[in-house]
Structure 1
Amino acid sequence: MISLLPLMLERVGILLIVAILLSRLKSFRNIVNHEDGVTDKIRLIVIFGAFGVISNYTGVEIRGGSLIASQAWQTWIETDGAIANTRIMGVVIGGLIGGPVVGTGVGLIAGLHRFTLGGFTAVACGMSSILAGIATGYLGKRIRLRESGALWRAVVIGLLMECTQMATILLVARPFEAAAALVEVIAVPMIFINGFGTLLFMLIIQSIIREETRTRAHQTQLAFTIADQTLPFFRQGLNPHSCREAAEIIRKQTHADAISITDRHHVLAHIGAGADHHVALQPISTQLTRQVLEEGSAGKAVTREQIQCSKPDCVLQAAIVLPLKVLERTVGTLKLYYKKPSRLDQAEEELAEGLSRLFSTQLELAEAERQRRLLKDAEIKALQAQVHPHFLFNAFNTISALCRMDPEKARTLLQQLSVFFRSNLQGARQTVVPLYKELEHVRAYLSLEQARFPDKYSMRMEIDPALEEIGIPPFTLQPLVENALKYAFPAHAEPGRSQIMLRAYREQDKMVLVTEDNGRGIPGELLAALGSRTVESLEGTGTALYNICKRIDELYGAEGDFRIESKPGAGTKVTIRLPIHHSHWGETHVESFDRR
């Protein structure tokens, strides 16, 4: 009995070596982790059935209670002989992994093959193999291999199945005396070795499962990290700037040699290898991308010819192209390129598919946000386009009076009133306007007010000329100046004392707009609320400040800033910071304005 242990360990070692080699194969790992399909179950039956066959061939022959040492495979057993082997181990593992169908299939293969080898235990061993397969298959449905206690439960089941085989030999094999003598020799070694082999085999299986779990967790974390980093850019929609920044982030976080993002007609960004001919803003050149845009499903290429690039010697030899969808409509593609097809493995494919879904969701949310902003923008612009009737009547009365006293000045004020109205109408149609246009609006308003109240207000502007073409939201500065004139100064202020300063300067990549007055200031209880909501007070409702703050937030998000500083008796300062290089949902139409 003791002498059988080393030989059995040797046989277990052979099977474990095969198992370790198989565990390194991607196809085997996929089968272990995804054993739900019919094809996967058939593969498991074949693999573990082969383990049972190998166990039969490599068994140790026993005849008359003695070991028959042989290095050859056991292809035939004498009628008075039997074999000690590790067949049950393969059957148990197959049943635990694949369930009843796999367990029964493996048991049939291993059991029928054992029956064909002969020997007085052929029937008993064949029956026990089939029974073990059925039993472990049904027990396997109750055991989740990913659970911590599954390992030892599997070992116990392996031991029980081997004990069942010994009992079957005693019940079925004849003559009974020979069966009893055989069991006395092989029972302890086979039960121990098969239990030990099951333990080692399950450790291999669980290492595959744990590695797959870690890989998936890493991919999920990586996908969310990339999605989080690219969210600010995809919120801007598909445009060259946002796609270039997003593509750079994706390339750094993946194994891809190049990242490309397109809309339906053009390459919006291409970062990495092949940038010499995959040029941004050029028409889409690869047939694979066109196919994905038309069909709306992922495309994969593992050769340069399948990519069908316009340049025959392109360094990119593999690619996965995924659709970017908004409301079930394909609006663009995400492409991951590789110089070597071997780098495009299943992990990269799954990561790319996950990113495609996340980016599509981000684009859908961005589109919904854009529609909400447009609606809100329309509401605000409708209010801004309205001219206060008192201002209009006062302007007409002033111009009418000047027509008799100073016709030339009246003519100038009519021109300023025309500029004021034109600015109102243009601003109501635009998302952003050039800074110089907003300043024209301010000057026109001030001209009309100063004609009514000569020498009451003084206005000074310090504007960086390099910023005059930069776009800002319309009705940003004029309402601030109007607020200062209406609420900052007493009605009977000393002439020349009321002063307003308007500045525009650059601070790194931001444009800073400052409107400052030396008026009465804002009470502390109102200051905290202004800009965040409307308020009810004798000095006004704060609607203009709220509208400006809201629009800056809607257009620029965290990149924009609106701040109010004030001290009673010391004046009020409003500071606005806007990004200089900012594209809001495509074209801003700044170029549509002409200086006149």
Structure 2
Amino acid sequence: MLHLIIMMLERVGIIVILGFVLAHTRLFRQALQQPESYKGKAVLISIFSLFSIISNYTGIEIQRNMIMNNDWVFQINPSGSIANTRIMGVEIGGLLGGPYVGIGVGILAGLHRLSLGGATAVSCAVSSVLAGVLSGWIGRYFRKRYAMPTPRVAALVGLGMESLQMLLILLMAKPFSDAWTLVSIIGIPMILVNGSGTFIFLSIIQSIIRKEERARALETHRVLMIADQTLPFFRQGLNESSCKSVAAIIHRQTGTDAVSLTDNEKILAHVGAGADHHIPSKSLITGLSKRVIKTGHIMKATSKEEIECTHDPCPLHAAIVLPLTSNGKTIGTLKMYFKSPSGLSRVEEELAEGLAMLFSTQLELGEAELQSKLLKDAEIKALQAQVNPHFLFNAINTISALCRTDVEKTRKLLLQLSVYFRSNLQGARQLLIPLSKELNHLQAYLSLEQARFPGKYKISLEIENGLEDIEIPPFVLQILVENALRHAFSRKQDSCAVNVSVVSAGPSVLMRVGDNGRGIDPELLSVLGNRPLPSKEGTGTALYNLNQRLIGLFGPKAALRLESEAGKGTDVSFELPLKLMTKGEEHAEGVNR
């Protein structure tokens, strides 16, 4: 018995070595993390079926109660059997992968054992399937609670599954006397060796996975710490001042030889080696950075030639360059430099990728926060996400008055009311919307106002064909029209006309809202839209916030222009860059990159 135990321990050593090598492969670790996926199941079934088949081939043949020490077993004598570690592969597969993996490994291992023949072929095949089913359900039970069965649990399961196999041999193998003799020889060695082998195998896998988790946790902690320290600076946007602070933090926390941050044209900050010639605001970006900006893909260099630095004595010989994006567009790069290519390890690459993703998110959040500040005024909030109670009550009262006199018009107004408030809610979640949606929102608003004041307002829309799909900030036309209806006309004015026009003007689209009202005081005209002004009917910030939104999104050229003449009316206009707004050109630009 001792001789058989020693021989079986040698076989177990083969499986344990294979398990150690396997645990270091990415494919196996990914399968362990996602055992419920089809790919994960397929990988685990393939691996542990292979283990069980190798165990069959390396088993120790038993013939007429004699132990045969063969290297490989390809066929078993009809009266013989083998002592092996097949059940170990089946049960580990079930414990790690669950019922489907356990059943799959059990069936394949059992069929292979059946093909080898021998007196115990059928009982061993059946025991393989049962071991796969039972260990799979045990594995699922523990995964729901502890993520993975412990080595101690695995060892107990191994002892139990091997004991089950011995019982099946006694029940199924004929004659019983031969079965009993066989079990008395191989029973205790197989039970002990398979139990201890399972314990060692699970201990190795668990140790490697825990080591990897600790390393990942440390990297995650480092990334989050950097992100926490850099967030206040990225809130300020991508500029020299903020980037200098960010680059210093990354350089200090990562141990790289140098760190650079750029926009799409020049270096904004460089900290570390090479600072004598990588000069912020004066040095243009390298050829490698240009390719990253053009493609939007991460690139790395392992030589000075690949970096394409024009300064010959540059000490930097390796780099990883990552795109920084905001709203789907590459707006700059993060570059981590090393004096030697050996410094650019896989760990550093993953760290850089994580930082680039976080920084891009921070930049988007900073932009969103800036835009959010421009929309905090109560009037803008009401337009975007909340129901204006006065407008709602007035609309309901108007519709209620029409219920008995014009049912069809009442139905249409109710539909327009739903369109109006649905547009408010949708616009609250978007920075840009198609012009067609803005016009639908405007038409809904005008329908309700004209129903309230029949015949008072004459509204004309002049929209150039082909511009319906351009994207504009939500509510821009509606705010200007509402502003005209509320403030432009005196109560005694009979003809109240508002004209809305949207036309192309070279590389831009010109939007204009004009009225024939009383005009604006010249003293107010110069400050309207440039700072909040008090108002009897509201907070007086609608034009100011709209102007700030336009400038924030498209630059100073998109600012509101106001022209007014007393007694003749007011024109409010603005221009948006047409080539940046159309969906077709946006898509083409993305393809060219």
TM-score with structure 2 setting the length: 0.55
The one-letter code sitting in structure 1 at the alignment partner of 2:188 is V
Residue 78 of structure 1 aligns to a residue whose secondary structure is coil
For residue 249 of structure 1, what is the aligned residue in structure 2?
249
Determine helix, strand or coil for the equivalent of 1:268. Answer: strand
What residue number does 1:152 align with?
Answer: 152
Q: CA RMSD in A?
A: 3.5
Structure 2 CA distance for partners of 1:38 and 1:176, relative to 1, 3 Å: same
Q: Report the CA distance shift for 1:261/1:13 in structure 2 as closer, same or farther (over 3 A).
A: same
Residues 323-378 of structure 1, C-alpha deviations (whole Å, 9 max, x = no match): 3333444332323345666655554444333323332333234334545677999x
Q: 2:31–2:39: 8 Å Cα contact kept in structure 1?
A: no
Go from structure 1 to structure 2 and tell me whether the alpha carbon gap of 1:269 and 1:106 turns closer, same or farther (over 3 Å shift). farther
Give the 3-state SS of the residue equivalent to 1:210 in structure 2: helix
CA–CA separation in structure 2 for the residues paired with 1:292 and 1:139: 50
1:296-331 deviations in Å (ceiling 9; x for gaps): 5x4244755996736699876765444333344433
1:123 equivalent in alignment to 2:129: no
Unaligned segments of structure 1, at least 5 residues: 378-596
1:460-479 correspondence to structure 2 within 5 Å? none
- Other-structure match for 1:213: 213
Are 1:98 and 2:100 matched, yes or no? no
Matched, 1:269 2:269: yes
CA deviation profile, 1:229-282 (whole Å, cap 9, x unmatched): 223332332122322331232133236444332223323233446667755433
Whether 2:113 is the aligned partner of 1:114: answer yes
Corresponding position: 1:286 with 2:304 = no
Partners of 2:333 and 2:29 lie apart in 1 by 31
Aligned residue identity for 1:41:
K
CA contact under 8 A between 1:251 and 1:271: conserved in structure 2?
Answer: yes
User: Any conservation in 2 of the 1:159–1:192 contact (CA below 8 Å)?
Assistant: yes
Structure 2 partner of 1:516 = none
Q: CA shift at 1:203, angstroms?
A: 0.9
Query: Secondary structure of 1:79's partner?
Result: coil
Contact 1:318 1:337 in 2 (8 A): yes
- Whole-Å Cα distance in 1 between the matches of residues 262 and 100 of structure 2? 47
Partner Cα distance (2:285, 2:277) in 1:
11
Matching of residues 391-410 of structure 1 within 5 Å: none
Q: What CA distance in whole angstroms lies between the structure 2 residues aligned with 1:252 and 1:176?
A: 75
Summarize the Cα distance change of 1:257–1:62 in structure 2 as closer, same or farther, 3 Å threshold.
farther
- Please tell me whether the aligned partners of residues 277 and 311 of structure 1 are also in contact (alpha carbons under 8 angstroms): no
2-structure distance, mates of 1:223, 1:46: 36
Q: Deviations over 1:123-176 (max 9, x none)?
A: 322232233223323432222285586333322322222122222222333333
Deviation for aligned residue 1:222:
0.7
Q: 1-side partners of 2:192 and 2:164: how far apart?
A: 14
Structure 2 alignment gaps of length 5 or more = 378-593
Partners of 1:103 and 1:136 within 8 A in 2: yes
Report the AA paired with residue 252 of structure 1: R
Q: Write the distance in 1 (CA, Å) between the matches of 2:305 and 2:73.
A: 50
Corresponding residue of 1:88: 87
Question: Is the Cα contact below 8 Å between 1:255 and 1:343 reproduced in 2?
Answer: no
Residues 252 and 5 of structure 1, relative CA distance in 2, 3 Å threshold: same
Q: With structure 1 as the length reference, what TM-score do the two structures score? A: 0.55
Deviates further, 140-149 or 151-160: 140-149
Counterparts of 1:22 and 1:9, CA distance in 2: 20
Distance of 1:24 and 1:255 partners within structure 2:
27
Q: Which residue of 1 aligns with 2:573?
A: none
Give the aligned partner of residue 164 of structure 1: 164
Matched, 1:140 2:109: no
Q: Which residue of 2 aligns with 1:51?
A: 51
Are positions 1:364 and 2:368 aligned together? no
Matched residue, 1:441: none
| Superimposed CA distance per residue, residues 536-594 of structure 1 (whole angstroms, 9 cap, x where no aligned partner) | xxxxxxxxxxxxxxxxxxxxxxxxxxxxxxxxxxxxxxxxxxxxxxxxxxxxxxxxxxx
Q: Aligned partners of 1:176, 1:208: CA distance in 2, in Å? A: 45
| Cα separation, 2, equivalents of 1:342 and 1:73 | 44
1:185 paired to 2:185: yes
Does the CA-based 8 Å contact 1:103-1:133 persist in structure 2? yes
Match of 1:325 in 2: 325
Please tell me whether the aligned partners of residues 29 and 208 of structure 1 are also in contact (alpha carbons under 8 angstroms).
Answer: no
CA contact (8 A) 2:319 2:335 kept: yes
1:46 partner amino acid: S
Aligned positions, number: 374
Determine helix, strand or coil for the equivalent of 2:223.
Answer: helix
| Counterparts in 2 of 1:270 and 1:128: CA distance versus 1, 3 Å | farther
Aligned to 1:237: 237
Is the alpha carbon distance of 1:230 and 1:29 closer, same or farther for their aligned partners in structure 2, counting shifts above 3 Å? Answer: same
Q: Which range moved further: 204-213 or 303-312? A: 303-312
Letter of the 1:361 partner, please give it: T
Give deviations 1:497-539, integer Å, cap 9, x for gaps: xxxxxxxxxxxxxxxxxxxxxxxxxxxxxxxxxxxxxxxxxxx
Q: CA deviation at 1:202?
A: 1.0
Q: Sequence identity of aligned pairs in percent?
A: 51
Distance in 1 between residues matched to 2:171 and 2:197, nearest whole Å: 26
Q: Which residue is equivalent to 2:76? A: 77
Deviations 1:423-472 (A, max 9, x none): xxxxxxxxxxxxxxxxxxxxxxxxxxxxxxxxxxxxxxxxxxxxxxxxxx
Contact kept in structure 1, 2:258 and 2:270, CA below 8 Å:
yes
Distance 1:205 1:277 in 2: 49
Q: How does 1:178-577 map to 2 (within 5 A)?
A: 178-254=178-254, 256-272=256-272, 280-281=280-281, 282-287=283-288, 289-290=289-290, 292-294=292-294, 296=296, 298-301=297-300, 309=308, 320-337=320-337, 344=344, 347-371=347-371
- CA spacing shift, 1:348–1:137, aligned 2, 3 Å: farther
> Which letter maps to 1:286?
G
Corresponding letter in the other structure for 1:14: I
Q: Distance in 2 between matches of 1:249 and 1:341?
A: 22
Give the drift of 1:91. Answer: 1.5
- Give the structure 1 partner of residue 42 of structure 2: 42
**Residues 139 and 149 in structure 2, CA contact (< 8 A), matched pair in contact too:** no
CA distance, structure 2, for counterparts of residue 320 and residue 244 of structure 1: 19
Q: Distance in 1 between matches of 2:305 and 2:203?
A: 41
Q: Which 10-residue stretch deviates more, 199-208 or 32-41?
A: 32-41
Bigger CA radius of gyration = 1
Q: Distance in 1 between matches of 2:361 and 2:235?
A: 11
Question: Structure 1 residues 347 and 235 mapped into 2: Cα distance closer, same or farther (>3 Å)?
Answer: same
